[in-house]
Structure formats: structure tokens, C-alpha cells
Amino acid sequence: MSIVAKPDALSESLGFVRQVETGDPSRCILHYNATMAMCHSGGIVQGGFVTGWIDAAMAHAVLAATEFTKTPLSLEIKISFLQSAAPGLVIAEGWIEKMGRSTAFLEGRLTDEAGNVLAKGSSTVKLAPLQRRG
């Protein structure tokens, strides 16, 4: 069973709506509300938000799989934009492709509510001990 983290200010600024229970801690599905305030060019979501949504889903998969004992520090991230995102519900999925003791390889994608793939991503992360700060 995956572990659900409570939303924080960063999640809220990205338009977090909810996390979907997957039953697999190495896979995360997050729903976000893309707003016009996140757009440029008359309704196209800025790529940084798309990247942030996919990155958050991939990172949360690591957090849940390690029971919040490790945090993923990005070494590299690649996002391929396949179709523009528009305001409305978007679904970010992230999963662990392979995880060792100090490094993990992650994959992710963003879809719209109809299931159209808007972007795909991959990331290599360093696994560091999670230190909670007040």
C-alpha cells in the first residue's frame, strides 16, 4: 500500500488536487488543476509546471517506496513535451524503474483527463536520508 503525504505549500502552488491510491508504493498518481494563471500564449500551460508535476510524481514514488526515509535529489531530469497542456485536470504518474542503495532511475508521464499523453519524463536521482525540517 502506498503512503500518502499531506499536501504542502509547494504542492498547493502546483495546483495539487489529490493522490490516487495505487496499492504499489513504487508508483504514484497525482491529480493537479492547471489554471489560466499557469499559462502563456492564450491557454498553453508553461513547461515548468508540466515538469514540476511529473517530477513530483516521480519523487513521491521514491518517498513512498522508502517509507519516507529517503529523499530523491535530482541529478538529471528529461522531459519530452508531446502535446500542449491546457487548463483543467491533469494526471501525473511516476514510478521507479530501478532503485539501488544510493541512486534511482525514475520514469513519469502527464496525461489529460481523456488519457492523452501530454509529456513523458525520466530522471536519475541520488537517494539521501530524509531530514525533516520544522
For the chain, the structural domain boundaries read 9-129
pLDDT (tens digit, 9 = 90+) per residue, 57-66?
999 999 999 9
* Fold category of 9-129 in CATH: Thiol Ester Dehydrase; Chain A (3.10.129)
- Overall size of the chain counted in residues: 134
CA 75 to chain centroid: 16
By percentage, how much of the chain surpasses pLDDT 90?
Answer: 76
Give mean pLDDT, residues 1-14. Answer: 66
Q: Roughly how many angstroms between the first and final C-alpha of the chain, as a whole number?
A: 27
pLDDT (tens digit, 9 = 90+) per residue, 75-107?
999 999 999 999 999 999 999 999 999 999 999
Query: Which residue in 103, 112, 69, 48 sits closest to 123, CA to CA?
Result: 103
